[in-house]
A and B are shown apart, each in its own frame.
Chain A
Amino acid sequence: TQLLEQSPQFLSIQEGENLTVYCNSSSVFSSLQWYRQEPGEGPVLLVTVVTGGEVKKLKRLTFQFGDARKDSSLHITAAQPGDTGLYLCAGALQGAQKLVFGQGTRLTINP
């Protein structure tokens, strides 16, 4: 059983469309991170959110941490082929000193 459930696990859309990826749990996290991974490489950190309700923007990417710190979302506006990759969320379990990863969302943006 995954502590962090990501959905969808696969997403293929056309260039220019918008999309949202979700990361959900029944556990509370003190912080949550989003990583992006390209084929043949390791994950690279995109953002860390630490406050419930926090919203961070990174160009066309918007990250939100849920008010109860149990979930997060990643929204991409006007997706581009360069956004293609595996997106992973990772949460620091409150009080446990443990980082857990979601299964990942494999995103493909078609030209």
Chain B
Amino acid sequence: DAGITQSPRHKVTETGTPVTLRCHQTENHRYMYWYRQDPGHGLRLIHYSYGVKDTDKGEVSDGYSVSRSKTEDFLLTLESATSSQTSVYFCAISDQLAGVSGANVLTFGAGSRLTVL
């Protein structure tokens, strides 16, 4: 019943290699987000998208890029992975921009655990 899927769910890579995480939604929501979750920090926004080819930076965007060529897909790319990017990455979707409306609901994917050695 998942309206949002992330792939891969687990990945181990080496420092300096490129990595792409994919988020796919079937809900036709306008807004898509990439967060990272680290102990003691909660969820921190990396980038978000407000439409096809429309993206903006979040609070921890350095070292990450995103692309959205179709409504349903939002890709997160680490051009050259570093150990500090070891984390669990969550994609989320919403039909209104997070932080604007009290009625806004974020629906999260199951997460992608990335380990950079």
Contacts and interface: CB of A to CB of B under 8 A. Distances in A.
Interface string B86-100: 000010100001111
A104 B43 CA distance: 9
Mostly helix, strand, loop or mixed at chain B's interface? loop
B42 A88 contact: yes
Interface residues of B, number: 23
B99 A102 contact: no
Given A88-B43, A101-B44, A48 B100 contact: no
Interface residues of A, number: 28
Interface of A: 2, 4, 6, 9, 30-31, 35, 40-45, 48, 50, 88, 90, 92-93, 96-104
Interface of B: 40-45, 90, 92, 97-111
